[in-house]
Amino acid sequence: MNHSPDLGVLLRPRPASPLAEVRDERFGRYGVRLLVKRDDLVHPELPGNKWRKLAPNLRAAVEGGFPGIVTFGGAYSNHLRATAAAGRLLGMETVGIVRGDELAGRPLNDSLARCAADGMRLCFVTRSEYRRKAEPQARARLLAGAGASSLYPVPEGGSNALALEGCAELGRELRGVSEVVAVACGTGGTLAGLAAGLGPGQRALGVPVLAGGFLDAEIRSLQEAAFGGPAGAWSLAEGFHHGGYARVPARLEAFAADFEERHGFPVERIYVAKLLWALAALAESGAFPAGTAVTAVVTGRPQAVPSGS
């Protein structure tokens, strides 16, 4: 694949994504206003935080003369799918190092099939190898094994210092809009950048979609790398992962379907449904004082998830 001669529409600055108030008694009865930031509409093929994280990294890769991008993700990774789409749009090679060598002998799920259709070369590795990807020597072995040592590396979820700069712009778009701005978290990069961009008196709230309680340290580390230290006010609301990543139990599915019917926009299940569920539960528990305005950032669009999760 050859680089596009120009970064074109993909990396051009884009207008702020739409913001609207949603009237829902699950919030209103407690005196809480809910606003929705439709960041899923920020780019037609790279919705929400994927465009905000990838655009600065893609620019660095193209301007640095790299032949392509290599990155990491699981079988249902939104980030892998977005990176593959970006590679197709820019005419760049993409390689995805995928967690789980057992997947190599199976038919590709819809998510990975989309990556392959967009030209991404998939390299499946053992879960133990994948867990060590942050270690320099292990990472070098993974890249070499994938034939990707010469490519521009982007971490899992796209979260690095450049990505945080992109996500800080999301915070700047929301300055003065609400006291709390909430986002679902996978690797923590969106929250880390969002918090840095918000104004005085605002707080970023992250809802982790994975179990484990590891994000606090990760967010601090990301902010140190991007901004030289802590930036903005943020906190995490743990306990709303519904069994783990890509798990969508029946009650969460019902909640998401009901929200879609009430308010007329699609609710992505792995991240956004868990975010909205958490905010409704927090409103009910009194976590937000009456009069509080909360903005929920919609970071993606619905994709296929495993049946029976």
| Span 133-162, pLDDT tens digits | 999 999 999 999 999 999 999 999 899 999
Q: Residue 261 maps to which CATH number?
A: 3.40.50.1100
- Whether residues 170 and 38 fall in one domain: yes
Query: What pLDDT was estimated at residue 9?
Result: 55
- Whether residues 146 and 168 fall in one domain: no
Domain-ending residue, one of 150, 172, 201: 150
Answer whether residue 156 is part of any domain. no
Query: What pLDDT was estimated at residue 76?
Result: 87
**pLDDT, mean of residues 246-274:** 94
Query: What pLDDT was estimated at residue 152?
Result: 97
Query: What pLDDT was estimated at residue 4?
Result: 44
- Whether residues 32 and 167 fall in one domain: yes
- Whether residues 258 and 278 fall in one domain: yes
- Whether residues 185 and 83 fall in one domain: no
Q: Is the pLDDT of residue 308 over 80?
A: no
- Whether residues 242 and 288 fall in one domain: yes
Answer whether residue 54 is part of any domain. no
For the whole model, what pTM was predicted?
A: 0.88
Answer whether residue 51 is part of any domain. no
Answer whether residue 181 is part of any domain. yes
Answer whether residue 3 is part of any domain. no
Query: What pLDDT was estimated at residue 301?
Result: 86
Query: What pLDDT was estimated at residue 2?
Result: 44
Q: Is the pLDDT of residue 190 over 90?
A: yes
- Whether residues 250 and 278 fall in one domain: yes
Tell me the pLDDT tens digit for each residue of 68-111: 999 999 998 889 999 999 999 899 999 999 999 999 989 999 99
Q: Is residue 208 a contact partner of residue 216, using CB atoms and an 8 Å limit?
A: no
- Binned at pLDDT 50, 70 and 90, residue 13 comes out as low
- Whether residues 114 and 18 fall in one domain: no
Structural domains of the chain, count: 2
Q: Is the pLDDT of residue 305 over 60?
A: no
Average pLDDT score over the chain = 92
Q: Is the pLDDT of residue 306 over 50?
A: no
Answer whether residue 58 is part of any domain. no
Q: Is the pLDDT of residue 5 over 60?
A: no
- Whether residues 171 and 256 fall in one domain: yes
Answer whether residue 268 is part of any domain. yes
- Whether residues 142 and 175 fall in one domain: no
Name the more confident of 111 and 11.
111
Residues recognised as catalytic: 77
Domain-ending residue, one of 150, 181, 205: 150
- Whether residues 132 and 180 fall in one domain: no
Quote the CA–CA distance of 108 and 262 in Å, as a whole number.
Answer: 34
Domain of 94? 67-150
% of the chain residues with pLDDT over 90 = 81
Q: Is the pLDDT of residue 176 over 70?
A: yes
Query: What pLDDT was estimated at residue 296?
Result: 98
Q: Is the pLDDT of residue 307 over 50?
A: no
**pLDDT, mean of residues 14-28:** 93
